[in-house]
């Protein structure tokens, strides 16, 4: 119920305090003497060349997209799992069919070569 | 006696009554009590990290034939405290050109994300933060926030190594979330509930879900390792390739915070593993003395954590293509098959009309059998695919230099001498 | 005004403010971060509506997957830091403003004549039952949409593969 969620909200605040306060305390305790060399980009002692935010290949994105589609589908299954006792056999089997479509999807992506890292 | 049975509830009631006695509104007093509870829970989580760090360093040392920390406190147990004092007084070096707000937000998200899981972790049947009815999905959601911290850290540092680490982190964390969610679906099907404490309750009435679905337990264990990003899945911070990846530009406590976040998260997933698959607080006599549950949970969590540490010490790092192949071509299909099988068996069991005394045994037996069959089929497929082939024989080995023939035995001078 | 209203107003204000910052910030990653704040605010609104499952799904899908996908997409593009100093407004922005005003008036008009706000909803069972009711109706009343959603997402995946993969080969 909502008191449970109130606790989650309070815990969120507490977690942020616990994670943030030591950082601030350490900032007060520690010395602060920046100079240009110290705060330059560290790349193993070699001067950095060009812009940092370089382009990456699109394959990473394909994996993220596949993940998104799987994630959306699996979340549908959680209410189905909670209601398991009240479902008919047909209801359970339609859930299994849903998972099977996911499986076929994975095989299709595999076959297409999406999962190959090049 | 009653205090020992429900200490948290009694202390909470006492505090609330005390504050209403001071004239506060009851709702407000309850909020303050909850906040105090959250503080205590978060504090104990961070305190535990102090000891898990020592434990890990000790084990690391022993396995690498060193002593490990052994100077401060008995057996070096207090080593973390001077380390903490040291790291608190180190300078923050913010790299030039860093994106300030995400740069400073990242360590907070990293620790906070791991800490948030503790809100739903049941330590005993009556000692837990809260038992929201979507607890399992909550764990997934909070894990995503921790991943966000890593991505932000890598992106905001204005460093190419950090950016490579961040990109790797995204593809790894994101990929391994799929088998993790699939594996989490299995306990939900078995317990018919999503609340973490409800799942433990269901286990204390039947058996540990590790026995019902060892495959799901294994999938969850491996994929949560990858989610934390520890060895063998530490290619987001590979020291030898991209000099610690996303955290290369962090210093002082901001660096330490990623360290703490990783250890806390590693222990948290061990505790989750113990909770979801090894019965959590359930154990003998726990009905009469609920406080024993804390002890059982800690024992189980540390046993799992031991395996986590040993894995980190023993296994070499994967390459990114191996990591992705392992996830998408092994864990995900395996998880899908496990979910389908579990659902079918779980529904088919009641249709068999077995008497109530034998039904639980049949349930365990059927699940275990199907899991073993899955494991066997997987083993056969793996053997066929990755059978170690003998290297092709090009020719017989031929010696390059032939040893000279042994010299003729020299006759003894005694025989020559007349 | 109870605590619930205060929380709702705070969440709504956070959503609105963050949404405005999404479209005005020049740095694309900052825009994505503000989007996360806005989505989180929507999750809080769901919690206040006593729809815990939707709140958590909002966080899992929108923050855990879609926002990360956005950040990823931004990382794959050039010009993240917003080096262009030009105006962010199109020269005919007033047409868009007029159209959206008309649209808003239309929506408000339609919603004000809708009876749904006035009718009393049937009393809800407790939260746990709510989720299992959802699961039950997914595989009985809404069985066809449920399976179709799966097929639709297959289509989405194949489309994504076609658009971004085949050509790069």
What is the rounded distance in angstroms from the CA atom of residue B80 to the CA atom of residue B52?
Answer: 10
Rounded mean pLDDT of chain C? 79
Which pLDDT does position C169 carry in this prediction? 46
Measure CA of the first residue to CA of the last residue in chain B; give whole Å. 110
**pLDDT at position C62:** 87
Size of interface A-B (CB pairs under 8 A): 214
Q: Which of C22, C45, C80 is the last residue of a domain?
A: C80
- Domain termination site, one of C14, C45, C80: C80
Of residues C56, C71, C128, nearest to B141 (C-beta): C56
Residue C37 located in a structural domain:
yes
* Structure confidence at residue B397 (pLDDT): 77
Give the closest of B189, B249, B252 to A81, CB-based.
Answer: B189
Q: Do B346 and A84 touch (CB under 8 A)?
A: yes
Closest-CA distance, C56 to chain B, in angstroms, reads: 6
Q: Is residue C45 part of a domain?
A: yes
Instruction: Using 50 as the pLDDT threshold, list the residues of chain A that sit under it.
Output: none
Confidence of residue B411 (pLDDT cuts 50, 70, 90): low
Chains in contact with chain B (at least 3 beta-carbon pairs closer than 8 A) = A, C
B108–chain A Cβ distance below 8 A for any pair:
yes
Lowest average pLDDT, out of B89-98, B197-206, C82-91, C103-112, goes to C82-91
* Residue C148 located in a structural domain: yes
Q: Per the structure, how many domains does chain C have?
A: 2
Residues of chain C contacting A80 with CB distance shorter than 8 Å: 135, 138-139
Chain A hits for C75, CB-CB cut-off 8 Å, are 53, 56
- Whether B92 and chain A come into contact, CB under 8 Å, resolves to yes
Domain with C134, as residue range(s), is 128-169
Average of pLDDT values for B263-278?
A: 89
Instruction: Name every chain C residue with its beta carbon within 8 A of the beta carbon of B134.
Output: 52-53, 56, 131
At C99, is the pLDDT very low, low, confident or very high (cuts 50, 70, 90)?
very high
Distance in angstroms (rounded) separating the CA atoms of residues B211 and B218: 12
Is some CB atom of chain A closer than 8 A to the CB atom of B88? yes
pLDDT at B413: 61
Nearest Cα residue in chain A from C53:
A79
Which of B182, B254, B328 shows the shortest C-beta gap to A23? B254
pLDDT for residue B112: 87
Q: Closest to C150 (Cβ–Cβ): which among A9, A73, A92?
A: A73
- Rounded to the nearest integer, the mean pLDDT of chain B is 82
Burial (Cβ within 10 Å: 0-12, 13-18, ≥19) of residue B296: buried
What CATH number is attached to the domain comprising C20?
1.20.120.1200
Q: What is the DSSP letter of A113?
A: T
pLDDT digits (tens, 9 = 90+) for B337-364: 888 888 888 888 777 777 777 777 888 8
- Looking at the predicted structure, is the pLDDT value of residue C101 above 90? yes
Model confidence over B248-269: pLDDT tens digits? 778 888 888 888 888 888 898 8
Put simply, whether C93 touches A (Cβ < 8 Å) is no
CB contact under 8 A, C60 and B144: yes
C92 located within any domain: no
Q: Quick one: C64 and C132 in the same domain?
A: no
- If asked whether residues C1 and C68 sit together in one domain, one would say yes
Q: Are residues C128 and B133, on separate chains, in Cβ contact within 8 Å?
A: yes
How confident is residue B115, by pLDDT bands cut at 50, 70 and 90?
confident
Q: What pLDDT band is residue B293 in, cutting at 50, 70 and 90?
A: confident
Q: What is the 3-state secondary structure (H, E, C) of chain C?
A: CCHHHHHHHHHHHHHHHHHHHHHHCCCHHHHHHHHHHHHHHHHHHHHHCCCHHHHHHHHHHHHHHHHHHHHHHHHCCCCCCCCCCCCCCCCCHHHHHHHHHHHHHHHHHHHHCCHHHCCCCCCCCCHHHHHHHHHHHHHCCCHHHHHHHHHHHHHHHHHHHHHHHHCCC
Q: Report chain C residues whose CB lies below 8 A from the CB of A79.
A: 53, 131-132, 134-135, 138
Domains of chain A: 2-112 (1.20.58.1610)
In this structure, what token pair is assigned to residue B113?
């994300």
C93 within domain boundaries: no
| Residue in C76, C81, C156 closest to A55 by CB | C76
Judged by a CB distance cut-off of 8 A, whether residue C126 touches chain A is yes
């Amino acid at each position: 119920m909502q008191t449970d969620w109130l606790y989650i909200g309070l815990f969120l605040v507490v977690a942020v305090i616990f994670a943030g306060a030591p950082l601030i305390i350490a900032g007060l305790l520690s010395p602060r003497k920046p100079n240009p060399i110290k705060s330059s980009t560290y790349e193993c002692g070699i001067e950095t060349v060009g812009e940092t935010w370089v382009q990456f290949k699109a394959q990473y994105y394909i994996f993220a997209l596949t993940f998104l589609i799987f994630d959306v589908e699996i979340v549908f299954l959680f209410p189905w799992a909670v209601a398991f006792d009240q479902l008919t056999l047909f209801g359970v089997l339609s859930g299994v069919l849903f998972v099977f479509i996911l499986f076929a999807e994975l095989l299709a992506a595999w076959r297409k070569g999406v999962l190959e890292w090049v | 006696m009653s205090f020992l049975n429900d200490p948290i509830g009694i202390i909470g009631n006492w505090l609330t009554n005390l504050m209403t006695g001071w004239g506060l509104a009851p709702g407000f007093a309850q909020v303050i009590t909850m906040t105090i509870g959250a503080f205590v829970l978060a504090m104990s989580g961070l305190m535990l990290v102090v000891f898990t760090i020592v434990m890990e360093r000790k084990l690391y040392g022993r396995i690498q034939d060193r002593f490990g920390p052994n100077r401060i406190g008995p057996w070096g147990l207090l080593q973390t405290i001077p380390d903490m004092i040291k790291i608190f007084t180190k300078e923050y070096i913010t790299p030039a050109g860093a994106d300030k707000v995400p740069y400073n937000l990242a360590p907070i998200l990293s620790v906070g994300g791991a800490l948030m899981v503790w809100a739903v972790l049941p330590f005993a049947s009556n000692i837990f933060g809260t038992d929201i009815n979507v607890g399992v999905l909550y764990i997934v959601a909070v894990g995503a926030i921790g991943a966000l911290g890593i991505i932000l850290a890598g992106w905001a540092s204005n460093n190419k190594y950090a950016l490579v680490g961040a990109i790797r982190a995204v593809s790894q964390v994101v990929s391994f979330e799929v088998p993790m969610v699939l594996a989490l679906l299995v306990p939900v099907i078995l317990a018919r509930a999503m609340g973490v404490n409800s799942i433990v309750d269901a286990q204390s009435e039947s058996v540990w879900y590790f026995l019902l679905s060892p495959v799901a337990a294994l999938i969850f264990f491996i994929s949560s390792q990858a989610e934390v990003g520890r060895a063998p899945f530490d290619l987001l911070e590979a020291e030898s390739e991209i000099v610690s990846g996303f955290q290369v530009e962090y210093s002082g406590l901001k660096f330490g915070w990623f360290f703490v976040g990783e250890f806390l998260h590693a222990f948290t997933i061990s505790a989750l593993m113990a909770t979801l698959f090894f019965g959590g607080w359930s154990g003998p006599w726990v009905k009469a003395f609920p406080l024993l549950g804390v002890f059982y949970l800690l024992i189980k969590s540390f046993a799992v954590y031991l395996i986590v540490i040993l894995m980190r010490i023993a296994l070499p790092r994967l390459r990114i293509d191996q990591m992705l192949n392992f996830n998408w071509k092994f864990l995900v299909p395996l998880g899908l098959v496990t979910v389908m099988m579990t659902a079918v068996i779980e529904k088919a069991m009641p249709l068999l009309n077995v008497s109530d005394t034998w039904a639980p045994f049949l349930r365990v037996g059927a699940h275990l059998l199907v899991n073993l069959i899955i494991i066997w089929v997987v083993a056969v497929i793996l053997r066929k695919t990755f059978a170690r082939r003998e290297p092709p024989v090009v020719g017989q080995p031929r010696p390059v230099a032939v040893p000279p023939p042994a010299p003729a035995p020299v006759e003894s001078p005694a025989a020559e001498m007349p | 005004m109870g605590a619930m209203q205060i929380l709702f107003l705070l969440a709504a204000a956070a959503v609105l403010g963050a949404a405005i910052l999404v479209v005005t910030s020049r740095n694309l990653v900052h825009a994505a971060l503000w989007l996360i704040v806005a989505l989180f605010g929507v999750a809080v609104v769901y919690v206040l509506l006593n729809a815990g499952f939707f709140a958590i799904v909002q966080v899992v899908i929108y923050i855990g997957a879609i926002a990360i996908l956005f950040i990823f997409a931004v990382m794959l593009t050039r010009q993240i830091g917003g080096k262009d100093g030009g105006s962010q407004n199109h020269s005919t922005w007033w047409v868009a403003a007029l159209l959206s005003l008309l649209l808003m008036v239309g929506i408000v008009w339609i919603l004000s004549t809708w009876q749904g706000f006035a009718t009393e909803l049937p009393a809800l069972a407790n939260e746990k039952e709510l989720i299992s009711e959802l699961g039950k109706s997914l595989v009985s009343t809404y069985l066809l949409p449920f399976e179709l959603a799966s097929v639709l997402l297959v289509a989405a995946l194949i489309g994504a593969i076609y658009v971004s993969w085949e050509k790069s080969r």
